[in-house]
Amino acid sequence: MGNHKKGLLKRYICMAAGFVLSLSLFAGCTKGSNQESETSLILGFSQIGSESAWRIGNTKDIEEQAEKYGINLMFENANQKQENQIAAIRRFIAYKVDVIAFSPIVEDGWDNVLTEAKDAGIPVILVDRDISTEKEGLTTCLIGADFYREGVMAGEYLIRKADALGLDHVNIVEITGTENSTPMRQRQAGFADAIANDSRMNILESIDGDFLKSRGAECMRYLLDEYGDDIDVIYSHNDEMTLGALPEIEKAGYAPGKDIIIISIDGGQEAIDVLKEGKINCVVECTPKLGKEVMETALKLKAGEAVEPLIHPSELVFSDEMDTSKIPERGY
Ligand code: AHR
């Protein structure tokens, strides 16, 4: 056999092995389902990555709820890369899944691949984050938090805190999430709008921490070098970056929660424990538990039923204004 033919045969064997592996993965996904009569729904889910406790909790919830609803989940983790998400969606289209769901890492750049899904007749659910597009009908709905409202709740807490402490000038540094992502844009806008009419409030700088703990620490080192004693408040767009920033604040000789007001978003267990210790002042909740709504929506889409275009879970604020010992276990 010539080298060319040998190469072709090898490639074919690899493809066949890949196909068998995928089928057995599907089979594995359905095993042990709690559902008595399983649906034949196949859901392709592209997750952003594993950047935070929130994201890991969200993945766990999606997997558990798929199992509970007897849905075959084809799950792909994009490891923080948009191109990996696009490739995953293309694989879902090639496999002819029934429904595609994904959490877009950023808002732009989805038109081509979503047009391919639409042309293939596969409905798409946006989970957690939104996209920005001029095209109509690329997605069916969005299931995720109201990030703008979260920013507003963070700003409103700060105004109450400044009142309680009798502050007449408040210097804020903001550590933002991934640039061009929905939570980054909306948490920034909601917070800015909430404090806009309070002349005490002054944002010294907003810096991109990419939702990562390591970046939170780096940003904090830079901000302390740059502004030092002038910093009154840190508004951080997620717990992970907050938890990265706190040790840097302590190393620089400040007591977080006392010398500097700390406001975070997510409400994962680790941050809530630190809130209870008094080193964080306020945590706005963002629940990762979106799986139930995703599965119910996927089933409706498969059945050709109408779905809600926008589903926001209700969310709370945890802060030093309350008895924090009463906050129940968070589960993420
Ligand atoms: O999109 C939700 C955000 O993404 C969470 O606040 C953050 O922790 C996660 O990485």
Which CATH fold topology does 35-145+288-314 show? Rossmann fold (3.40.50)
Query: Is residue 218 within 8 Å of 296, Cβ to Cβ?
Result: no
Tell me what pLDDT residue 21 has: 40
Tell me what pLDDT residue 30 has: 40
Question: Which pLDDT tens digit goes with each residue over 107-131?
Answer: 999 999 999 999 999 999 999 999 9
The predicted model scores a pTM of 0.89
Tell me what pLDDT residue 39 has: 58
Low-confidence ranges of the chain (pLDDT < 70): 1-39
Tell me what pLDDT residue 290 has: 98
133 CA to centre of ligand 1 in angstroms: 21
Residue bearing the CA closest to ligand 1, atom 3: 183
Do 147-286 and 35-145+288-314 fall under one CATH topology? Answer: yes
Q: Which of 146, 235, 238, 312 for mutating ligand 1's site (highest number of atoms within 8 Å of CB)?
A: 238
Class of the CATH domain delimited by 147-286: alpha beta
287 CA to centre of ligand 1 in angstroms: 9
Tell me what pLDDT residue 38 has: 52
Question: Which pLDDT tens digit goes with each residue over 63-87?
Answer: 999 999 999 999 999 999 999 999 9
Domain ranges across the chain: 35-145+288-314, 147-286
Task: Report residues whose beta carbon is within 6 angstroms of any ligand 1 atom.
Answer: 51-52, 54-55, 128-129, 183, 211, 238, 240, 265-266, 286
Q: Which of 46, 51, 55, 290 for mutating ligand 1's site (highest number of atoms within 8 Å of CB)?
A: 55
211 CA to centre of ligand 1 in angstroms: 7
